Every structure is written in structure tokens, then in C-alpha cells.
Amino acid sequence: HPDSPDYPQQRACVRGRAQRQQVFGADRLKYPMKRKNWEPGGGKKELRGQDEWVRVSWDEALDAIAGEIKRIKAEKDNRSLFADGGPVSKVLALYGGYVPHWGTTSRGNWTYTPDVIGYSPESNSGINDRLDMRNCDTVIMFGLNPAWSSAGNPAYNFLQVKKAGAEFIAVDPYYNDTYGLLEADWIPCRPVTDTALLLGVAYTLLEEDDPVHNPLIDWEFLKKNTLGFDAESMPEGTNPQDNFKDYVLGTYDGIPKNAEWAAEISGVAPDRIRYLARAMNKNKKVAILTGWASARTQNTDNLPQLFMTIGAMTGHLGKSGHMCGISCHSRSSNGGDMLVKPGSNKLPSIKNPVDDSFNDTEMWRAIVDGKYNWTGHQKYYKGETRDIDIRLIYHDSGAALQSRDGMTKGIEAHRKVDLVVSHGQFLTTNAKYSDFVLPVTTEWEKIGGFLTGNREMVIMYSQITEPMYECQSDEWIAIELAKRLGIDPDQAFPIDAKQQFFNQIAGATTTHEDGISKIPMVTITEADIAEWGVQGKPQEGRIGLKEFQEKGIFQVERKPGDNYGFIAFKEFRDDPAANPRPNSASGKMEIYSQVLGDTINNLGYSEIKPIPTHIPPVE
């Protein structure tokens, strides 16, 4: 379609254009391989990561792996089987269960904190849509670089905001490609000092605000929509002196968190801190944006809470041209619900009978030490100390060893167990410390699939080449292992890959022009179903199946004034009583959150207050 800012074409980034090397690269894994000195029970475990490799057949590899899984279960139990959660994990669940892991390496303290204080950890619900962002007078970025790290069009979207007249301010230790593109006014700061800097901003707002002559603060929003900003808004049963305003002013601790105080910590000159605060004032249309990175460091448990507090003080929440929240990853610059979605492949969900589960921050330590903190679900707090004896590490998805906390401890864990298996397209870090490496297909060698991210479009990709060398799909490996373990693979995979792909196409939806109703995206005829050789029903949608296959993309056309816009927190701002914030104990945005303070303190790692305060990081 014709290219325009409202309806932009989708273009691959440099990394996307390099995907051909993922398929045809010289370093592809070609055959199943076994570590030379491995034998049942582990062999010379200390040589993992150093040993030579021996090419083996698929039958030899799968027979050996299945044999070890059987032995470990017989000698121990299913609590000794640890896996990443891919297709083989479904088979292990049918075999009696396995120990999974959970957590984040991206969101840091944006994972838990925003939910309990009534904020949002995501772009889709935390900022307005890209067309509304053009209404901003100023966009303030804290540690963002979508030109480098956000796939698709986010950098292009921000460029349209600039062309619409907005000025950009960047707060970051580094001057990056995005700031250059947008000609941002750069405020360099020391790393890990966002909290101190924002406290200096809060002090300046309080110091310079005059409701009559210089109104900087949205007192109405603070009074109606928040909890704990000042003594009058503190929750019942708490000490009124523990409010945020008095902490910032230094009323009781004798330390005003003014621009001079913040400058000593952040390295930002006092006049630049005051400039930043004035740029955020409530009378301008301002977007205050950040990413997950700033809260991925020590002692930032309440940084998302402070970011929310600044947005609440300045009133940049719930209005057109005003926003304060997360803008990163594929949803950078463009909040709102997905307007297009692929359907389900309709594979059954398999319940895992084992109730053990490791948090990512302690999984390697748990394997090495043989004990871990069990909470019973995927929320972390000080729970029950459980003994555990992991004998198998099975990497059937992800890149856990290189991307989770504590790689050195992770290597120790990999050298302790009886068997390590990795699926891979290349000799990844997981694979290097394995006993068996199984070569798997890339997405380009499979029947097809979907890529989402941008709320306005969905990409459907199709197979471009037959599987390379001896590579097989993850699902094929799972099916073959199921047979060897005496499990009917149809319990996990009752339909083939082609039917799964068709189900995703047939179930894909788009949003009607009314902005509310969901309708089928793809038109499917009886002839299409017969040609594919699958089960299905004809339906009317917005794009024909053959056209969708040929173009590989469906995109909702946007234009100013359409019904696809999104204003984050609008309903809550307009009527907080009727639209309380989910998971917030009070239903309000909690500048004072007893739940947050109690939960973090219960973990035993950090000691925080229910309000945002400055806690210096420790090297």
C-alpha cells in the first residue's frame, strides 16, 4: 500500500535483513552430536564446555536421552527433571512432570511493583497510541533508544511526533542514535541515579508551584486519584509523617531532596534539574517515557512508583497529549490493545503434575545447592525452603545459561547433573555445556507462523526452504521422545503442524471500525480448505487467504479521528471510584503502598519504605 506516516509500510531492520544467515549460515548445527566423554550417569561431567564432540544418529541420540530420563525417574523422581518449557517439556509433563523456571531478564522491578501500586508495567496499557503522541508539546525520554532496540517503526513514529512540533529531552548517561535522530536536548546523568534525579524534580515542583501564578502540580489529580502523597492522603492507621511530600521536603529527616542534593548524586547540574521539572509542568502536553532498563539495577524496587508519582504530580496521565509510562520493546511509542491477533493453534494445554518451580534468579544456585525457596506459584516472596535434586537439564527453548543471572553458577550447575540436552540452530552457550546437542529447524524451514508486536499489524511467514542438513523441528523431537517413553504423542500433539498453522489463520481477528468489535481477519473458502487438506469452515474476513499468503502481512489502516486511538488511564482519571486500578489495595495509584513495602522487605534482599525513597546501590 502507499506509504504514509498514518499508514506506514513495515520495513525490516538490519537484524531482520540478516535472518537469511540464520538459515544458511556456515555455523548452523547440522547433525546430532554427543559429548565424547559422556556416558550414562554423566561420565566426566567436568569436561562439559571443554570436551570434543562426536557425530551420532538421531536414533542413537534419542534412545540415549530417553534411557537416561527413564533411569533418573526410576532412581529419583520427576522432581529431578528440569526443563525450559518447550515442546519436550509437554512430553515430560505427560511422563509425570518436571521442574520449570520462571521470571524475567527484561522488566526488572517493572515486573512486580507497578501492579500492586495501580500502575502499568507495559507500553500497551501505560501510554497513549502513536497518533495521540503527536499532540504532545514535549517528549521526555529516560534511557530510551528505539532506533537501536525496538523492532519495526517506533523510531519512525517518534520522528512524526517531532515533525508535528514536539521538542525532545533525553535523560541518559549515553547520547544514542535516537536522540540524534530527534535532536533531543541531552541531559547526561550518572548510571543508576534516576531515583535521586526524580526526587530532585519532585522537590523543584513543590518548591516552585504556585496554584495561582505558577501552577506546576495537578493537585486535583493527586487528591482524587492517589494515596499517600501528603499527610492528608495517607491510609488510615499509618503515620501521617511517612508521606511522600514530607520525605521530599526533608520535613522530618532534615534532608531536603532539592536540586543541589540530587546534583551531587546524579551529576546533573541543579539548574538542569530545575529545567527538567519545569518542562514537565501540568500546563504543557508532555509525554514522560522510560524503559525497563532503569529498574533492572539494585535498589530500584520503588523506581516505577516514583516514575508514577512524577506523572501524577504533573497530571500527565489519562489525557490526550499527556502520558507517563513505559515505552520500549516492540510496543514503544504506541499504546493500546492489539488491533489484530493470530488465532490459537488449538494444541491442548498439558498440566504439569510437579508443583516445584524455580525463579530465574536462583535456579542455578538451587541446582548446585540442592535447595530453593518455594512459594507455590509464580510470585516470589519468602516461602518454604525445599530440598531438590536435579539430575537432568533439558533446554528445549530459550537461552537460559547465557541470559539468566549467574552464568558462573550456571556452568557449575550444568557440570553437576547427570545429563544436559540442548536443542539449537547454533552452538549456543546452552549447547556448549551439554552432553547432547540436537539440531533444530529455524522458522524459515517450518510450514509457517505468525509474528506480532506492533498493535496494528500481524505478519504471516511461510516456509522458504526444506529443513537443512539433518535438522528436525522441536515438535518432531518431542514426538520421538514420547514414543520412546511409552507416551502416546497424540496426547500432546493431536494435530499436525499444517493444521496448527491453519487454525492460527482461521482464528485470527481484527478490530472493526467501531474500535470495539472483533471480526475474522481472513476470508477462507471451501476451495482453500480443500487445497490445504485441513479441517475447517469457510468464513468472511478482511483479506483473502491467498492474498494474505502472498503479501505476508495484514495491517489496520490508521487515520486521525478513527476509533482505534487509546488514552492510557483515561477512565481511571475521569472516575476513579467506578474504574479502580486493578491489584491496588485501595483502587488508587499508591504513592504509599504498604503491600509493596511489606512484600519487598519480606524477601530479605532489600529494605524499602512504602513510599519512593533514595537507596544508594551497592557495587
Which has the closest alpha carbon to 498: 473, 466, 532, 527? 532
Asked if residue 595 is part of any domain, the answer here is yes
Do 274 and 416 belong together in one domain? no
Do 352 and 424 belong together in one domain? yes
Which has the minimum average pLDDT: 3-12, 417-426, 516-525, 529-538?
Answer: 3-12
Asked if residue 560 is part of any domain, the answer here is no
Asked if residue 618 is part of any domain, the answer here is no
Q: What element of type H or E holds 143? A: none
Q: What is the pLDDT of residues 217-272, one digit of tens each?
A: 999 999 999 999 999 999 999 999 999 999 999 999 999 999 999 999 999 999 99
pLDDT at 446: 94
pLDDT-derived band of residue 124, with 50, 70 and 90 as boundaries?
Answer: confident
Q: What is the pLDDT of residues 162-190, one digit of tens each?
A: 999 999 999 999 999 999 999 999 999 99
Do 167 and 297 belong together in one domain? yes
Examine the fold and report which residue of 496, 522, 555 is the final residue of a domain before the chain moves on. 555
Do 145 and 243 belong together in one domain? yes
Q: What is the pLDDT of residues 397-411, one digit of tens each?
A: 888 888 888 889 999
Q: Is the separation of the CB atoms in 404 and 364 below 8 Å?
A: yes
- Residue 560, judged by CB atoms within 10 A of its CB (0-12, 13-18, 19+), counts as exposed
Which has the closest alpha carbon to 453: 160, 144, 151? 151
pLDDT at 459: 95
Residues near 434 by beta carbon (within 8 Å), at least 6 away in sequence: 35, 48, 395, 414, 420, 421, 422
Residues near 404 by beta carbon (within 8 Å), at least 6 away in sequence: 101, 103, 105, 360, 361, 363, 364, 410
Cell numbers representing residue 233 in the block: 492522603
What is the rounded CA–CA span in Å between residue 458 and residue 344? 14
**The dihedral formed by the CA atoms of 411, 412, 415 and 418, expressed in degrees to the nearest 10:** -110
The number of folded domains in the chain is 2
pLDDT at 397: 87
| CA angle (146 as vertex; 143, 150 as ends), nearest 5 | 125
Q: Is the separation of the CB atoms in 126 and 581 below 8 Å?
A: no
What average pLDDT does the structure give for the chain?
A: 94
- Count of residues making up the chain: 619
Do 551 and 408 belong together in one domain? yes
Cell numbers representing residue 572 in the block: 481511571
Q: Is the pLDDT of residue 340 over 80?
A: yes
Cell numbers representing residue 31 in the block: 547433525
Do 404 and 479 belong together in one domain? yes
Do 129 and 100 belong together in one domain? no
Q: Is the separation of the CB atoms in 348 and 600 below 8 Å?
A: no
Residue 518: other Cβ atoms inside 10 A: 12
What is the rounded CA–CA span in Å between residue 414 and residue 433? 7
Collapsing DSSP states into helix, strand and coil, what is residue 34? strand
Do 64 and 96 belong together in one domain? yes
Dihedral angle sign, alpha carbons of residues 541, 546, 549, 555: negative
Asked if residue 27 is part of any domain, the answer here is no
pLDDT at 121: 83
pLDDT at 606: 85
pLDDT at 105: 76
Do 176 and 315 belong together in one domain? yes
What is the rounded CA–CA span in Å between residue 160 and residue 168? 12
Cell numbers representing residue 12 in the block: 525490516
Q: Is the pLDDT of residue 348 over 90?
A: yes
Residue with cell 507495559: 122
Dihedral angle sign, alpha carbons of residues 276, 281, 284, 289: positive
pLDDT at 108: 81
pLDDT-derived band of residue 109, with 50, 70 and 90 as boundaries?
Answer: confident
Asked if residue 24 is part of any domain, the answer here is no
Residue with cell 508514577: 308
- Residue 165, judged by CB atoms within 10 A of its CB (0-12, 13-18, 19+), counts as exposed
What is the rounded CA–CA span in Å between residue 463 and residue 446? 5
Range of the domain at 282: 118-335+573-603
Asked if residue 609 is part of any domain, the answer here is no
Asked if residue 428 is part of any domain, the answer here is yes
Which domain CATH number covers 352? 3.40.50.740
Question: What residue type is 398 in one-letter code?
Answer: G
What is the rounded CA–CA span in Å between residue 35 and residue 414? 13
Do 262 and 123 belong together in one domain? yes
pLDDT at 576: 97
Which domain CATH number covers 280? 3.40.228.10
Do 262 and 396 belong together in one domain? no
Under DSSP, the state recorded for 467 is P
pLDDT at 75: 96
Q: Is the separation of the CB atoms in 281 and 314 below 8 Å?
A: yes
| CA angle (99 as vertex; 97, 105 as ends), nearest 5 | 140
Question: What residue type is 332 in one-letter code?
Answer: S
Do 347 and 331 belong together in one domain? no
Q: Is the pLDDT of residue 379 over 80?
A: no
Asked if residue 29 is part of any domain, the answer here is no
Cα end-to-end distance, the chain, whole Å: 52
- Residue 307, judged by CB atoms within 10 A of its CB (0-12, 13-18, 19+), counts as buried
Q: What is the largest CA-CA distance in the chain?
A: 81
